[in-house]
């Protein structure tokens, strides 16, 4: 990343990390300090500019940690209050809102999408338009392409990211998949699609008569006291850590997400209900604990929220529900949650129901030189879970 981060040889770093983890597990430190030490070790091993993490146990105990820099060039340290773009973790709010509306009888998850958006002039040009249901959209089983991964969208972002206002309002995003061939028959496969969640956002607004962000604020953000979580719908987001990406990224964005004044160089509103939130690890851990412990809304909603489909017939235990990734089996039993990637930031939210533990973390880079970023996120999840569950 333009020489800003130290280079690490992968195997020595991993070996050092494993040795440090064993030492941490054998040491007598208190759980919160143990958690901080582990985050410091992970940041050092993977060469991250900065990171935050938080955990919450069902007994009410919790911990939060911050490590490294929120702004490398300015020498600003990361703090527990530092905020980052939460990316697709925001889909958990879309899923929860849609399930809540179904429980209130305002919609049915098996409604055809045409019931709610069929009057839009572009609707008949949407792939699988005559067969898609809301549940298909929630579970990424609608057969829709993803506008984010179209060459035309990447080219347009590269050309327009410097515009002051959001150049890509919701219905503009949908235009990128119009007239494309469906990936498969609706309900007969799985393919992740931000476009499907943009469509769900339009449905939520049609059903409620309110702006999506107003709806999640009144349902979840305000009642649960998630004071550091807000719509990422403007360039100025107080407390936002600078994010870092490769100079040759697909969208032609600058390697650092913020200006010297701490303002985003590009407008985050283009994400909308594909993610759309700025948050911190503490808020995300509390959100995950409330959502997956059945406390985010009235009634017994978890069965509907976690109703899932397989993402691959060869890995039936990896599934996707209503804005929730589900792993049925793992080192620590089942896992519910979501990951998030957006230029300059990565976020993880994971809940371990057999242990009553929820963990969230954020890092302010989306690219690691010489390593697989997805693999790094998975290994960070495993190490932090081991610390909290085994300590």
Q: In terms of C-beta density within 10 A (0-12 exposed, 13-18 middle, 19 or more buried), how is residue 52 classed?
A: buried
* 84 touches 243 (CB < 8 A): yes
Using alpha carbons, select from 149, 132, 147, 139 the residue that is nearest to residue 91. 139
Using alpha carbons, select from 85, 161, 92, 88 the residue that is nearest to residue 364. 85
Q: Is the dihedral of CA 40, 352, 58, 391 positive or negative?
A: negative
CA distance linking residue 256 with residue 241, whole number of Å: 10
229: tokens are 């979580």
DSSP state of 217: I
Phi and psi torsions of 162, nearest 5°: -80, -5
Task: Give the residue carrying structure tokens 């609608």.
Answer: 142
* 267 touches 160 (CB < 8 A): no
Task: Classify 10-390 by CATH class.
Answer: alpha beta
Could you tell me the CA-to-CA distances from 181 to 84, 126, 149, 185, 199 in Å, in that order? Answer: 35, 9, 15, 10, 17
Q: In terms of C-beta density within 10 A (0-12 exposed, 13-18 middle, 19 or more buried), how is residue 11 classed?
A: exposed
Higher-confidence residue: 275 or 11?
275
User: What is the value of pTM for the model shown?
Assistant: 0.92
Which helix (H) or strand (E) element contains residue 204? helix 194-208
Confidence grade of residue 134 (pLDDT, cut at 50, 70, 90): very high
pLDDT single digits (tens) 330-378: 999 999 999 999 999 999 999 999 999 999 999 999 988 667 889 999 9
pLDDT single digits (tens) 85-121: 999 999 999 999 999 999 999 999 999 999 999 999 9
CA distance linking residue 340 with residue 361, whole number of Å: 10
Domain boundaries, the chain: 10-390
- The SS3 assignment for 233 reads coil
pLDDT single digits (tens) 176-202: 999 999 999 999 999 999 999 999 999
Contacts 24+ apart (CB under 8 A), 376-381: 376/46, 377/339, 377/346, 377/348, 380/42, 380/46, 380/348, 381/348, 381/350
* 147 touches 173 (CB < 8 A): yes
CA distance linking residue 243 with residue 342, whole number of Å: 10
Using alpha carbons, select from 262, 292, 266 the residue that is nearest to residue 359. 292
Percent of the chain with pLDDT over 70: 92
* 245 touches 365 (CB < 8 A): yes
- The SS3 assignment for 63 reads strand
pLDDT single digits (tens) 232-276: 999 999 999 999 999 889 899 999 999 999 999 999 999 999 999
CA distance linking residue 90 with residue 226, whole number of Å: 13
């Amino acid at each position: 990343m333009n020489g800003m981060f130290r280079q690490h040889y992968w195997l020595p770093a991993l070996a050092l990390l494993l040795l440090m983890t064993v030492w941490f597990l054998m040491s007598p430190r208190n759980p919160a300090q143990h958690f901080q030490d582990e985050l410091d070790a992970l940041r050092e091993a993977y060469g991250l500019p900065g990171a935050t993490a938080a955990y919450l146990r069902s007994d009410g105990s919790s911990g939060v940690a911050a490590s490294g820099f929120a702004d490398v060039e300015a020498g600003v340290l990361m703090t527990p209050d530092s905020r980052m773009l939460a990316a697709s973790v925001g889909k958990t709010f879309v899923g929860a809102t849609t399930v809540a509306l179904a429980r209130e009888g305002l919609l049915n998850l098996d409604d055809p999408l045409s019931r709610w958006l069929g009057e839009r002039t572009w609707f008949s040009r949407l792939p699988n338009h005559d067969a898609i249901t809301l549940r298909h959209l929630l579970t990424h089983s609608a057969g829709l392409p993803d506008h984010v991964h179209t060459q035309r969208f990447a080219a347009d972002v590269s050309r327009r990211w410097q515009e002051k206002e959001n150049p890509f309002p919701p219905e503009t995003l949908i235009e990128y998949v119009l007239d494309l061939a469906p990936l498969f028959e609706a309900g007969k496969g799985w393919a992740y699609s931000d476009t499907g969640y943009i469509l769900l956002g339009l449905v939520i607004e049609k059903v409620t008569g309110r702006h999506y962000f107003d709806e999640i604020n009144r349902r979840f953000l305000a009642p649960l006291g998630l004071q550091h979580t807000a719509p990422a719908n403007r360039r100025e987001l107080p407390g936002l850590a600078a994010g870092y990406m490769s100079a040759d990224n697909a969208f032609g964005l600058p390697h650092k997400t913020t200006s010297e004044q701490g303002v985003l160089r590009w407008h985050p509103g283009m994400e909308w209900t594909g993610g759309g939130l700025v948050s911190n690890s503490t808020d995300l851990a509390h959100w995950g604990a409330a959502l997956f412990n059945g406390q985010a809304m009235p009634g017994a909603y978890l069965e509907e929220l976690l109703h899932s489909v397989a993402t691959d017939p060869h890995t039936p235990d990896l599934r996707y529900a209503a804005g929730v990734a589900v792993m049925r089996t793992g080192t620590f039993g089942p896992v519910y949650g979501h990951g998030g990637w957006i230029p300059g930031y990565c976020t993880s939210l994971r809940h371990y129901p057999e242990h009553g533990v929820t963990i969230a973390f954020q890092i302010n880079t989306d690219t690691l030189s010489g390593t697989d970023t997805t693999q790094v996120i998975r290994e960070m999840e495993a190490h932090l879970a081991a610390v909290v569950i085994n300590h």
